[in-house]
């Protein structure tokens, strides 16, 4: 078998893992993975997808054909069906993976059983604003430099290279004396991470 044919077959075989790894790299990771890291993750994700498809096929009584990397025996109807189902599984698992990362399911579980107080690799900024708790839905962004307070509901947030970005909706702007200056339906804020001061006035 030619090397280029072998590589193409491997790429098709691990398409489910590539889909999962691409979604992971685009939406859950703050830094771009190296080519080696991406390949390893795609390989492991692909194995997971095929293992799940094998388990499902076995449970429902469908035959599962073991892949043979031979040009004459690779593109069989059974193999194509298995790769299709594995790709669907890969996409669904990637979405579930996004939820797990966004809402820190592992960190919350470990905190629930008292195993740790840490939030994981990401900082408290991500953990706080990804929370669905009512206490963090409404915020006071206090700007000491201009002596104003932006009070509004958190609409979106992000961080990049030391800069924190926040979009508030239904915003009321007060001076430090508590006087309402003006209000706007939507407000974008961008500040250096070390200058951020946010208060959450909600009381349960």
Q: In this predicted structure, what is the pLDDT of residue 3?
A: 45
In angstroms, the Cα distances linking 114 to 102, 126, 168 are 21, 21, 34
Helix (H, G, I), strand (E, B) or coil at 150: strand
In angstroms, the Cα distances linking 149 to 80, 109, 117, 152, 171 are 59, 35, 31, 10, 10
Q: In this predicted structure, what is the pLDDT of residue 79?
A: 83
Q: In this predicted structure, what is the pLDDT of residue 168?
A: 96
Q: In this predicted structure, what is the pLDDT of residue 200?
A: 93
Q: How many CB atoms lie within 10 A of CB 165?
A: 13
Fold of the domain built from segment(s) 134-199: SH3 type barrels. (2.30.30)
Q: Which two tokens stand for residue 110?
A: 């470990």
Q: In this predicted structure, what is the pLDDT of residue 72?
A: 55
Element (H, E) at 8: helix 3-13
pLDDT, mean of each 10-residue run, the chain (204 residues)? 58 86 83 85 92 93 76 71 93 93 79 69 72 87 93 88 88 94 95 90 80
Q: Where are the beta strands (DSSP E) in the chain?
A: 138-143, 148-160, 163-175, 180-192, 198-199
Q: In this predicted structure, what is the pLDDT of residue 1?
A: 46
Q: Which two tokens stand for residue 174?
A: 């007060």
Q: How many CB atoms lie within 10 A of CB 39?
A: 15
Q: In this predicted structure, what is the pLDDT of residue 189?
A: 94
Measured at the alpha carbon of residue 26, what is the angle toward residues 34 and 37, in degrees to the nearest 5? Answer: 20
Helix (H, G, I), strand (E, B) or coil at 204: coil
- In the chain, residues under CATH classification 2.30.30.100 are 134-199
Q: In this predicted structure, what is the pLDDT of residue 180?
A: 95
When the pLDDT of each residue in the chain is averaged and rounded to a whole number, the result is 84
Q: What share of the chain is helix, strand, coil (3-state, %, to 5)?
A: 45, 25, 30
Which tens digit of pLDDT belongs to each residue from 9-25? 677 788 999 999 999 98
């Amino acid at each position: 078998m030619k090397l280029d044919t072998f590589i193409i077959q491997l790429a098709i075989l691990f398409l489910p893992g590539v889909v999962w790894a691409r979604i992971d790299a685009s939406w859950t990771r703050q830094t771009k993975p190296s080519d080696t890291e991406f390949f390893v993750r795609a390989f492991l994700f692909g194995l997971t997808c095929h293992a799940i498809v094998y388990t499902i096929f076995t449970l429902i009584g469908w035959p599962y054909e073991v892949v043979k990397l031979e040009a004459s025996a690779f593109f069989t109807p059974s193999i194509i069906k298995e790769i299709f189902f594995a790709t669907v599984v890969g996409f669904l698992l990637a979405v579930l993976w996004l939820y797990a990362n966004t809402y820190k399911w592992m960190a919350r579980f470990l905190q629930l059983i008292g195993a740790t107080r840490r939030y994981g690799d990401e900082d408290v900024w991500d953990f706080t604003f990804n929370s669905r708790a009512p206490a963090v839905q409404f915020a006071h962004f206090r700007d000491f430099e201009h002596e104003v307070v932006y009070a509004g509901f958190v609409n979106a947030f992000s961080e990049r290279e030391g800069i924190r970005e926040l979009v508030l909706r239904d915003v009321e702007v007060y001076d430090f004396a508590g006087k309402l200056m003006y209000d706007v339906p939507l407000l974008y804020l961008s500040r250096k991470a070390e200058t951020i001061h946010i208060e959450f006035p909600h009381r349960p």
